[in-house]
Amino acid sequence: MENSEPRERELGNEEASLPEEPMWFCPVCSTRLAAYKCKLICEKCGYYMSCADYY
């Protein structure tokens, strides 16, 4: 039997609204990056990317 609950309930509304794009994943360990102000931070390995790195 499949779980029919919406994805928002699984991940929480904030994470479910993030697009599934490569920039949202750590290039070192493939963990989803956490958004904090103008940075994306990997909570697992410590990698971070600032907003200046996006361009």
Average pLDDT score, the chain: 76
| Residue 35: closest CA among 14, 52, 53, 21 | 14
Q: What is the pLDDT of residues 22-40, one digit of tens each?
A: 888 999 999 999 999 989 9
Q: What is the DSSP string of 26-46?
A: -TTT-PBPEEETTEEE-TTT-
Tokens representing 26 are 């750590």
Position 8 confidence tier, pLDDT thresholds 50, 70, 90:
very low
**Bridge partner list, 49:** 40
Amino acid present at 42: C
pLDDT, position 20: 80
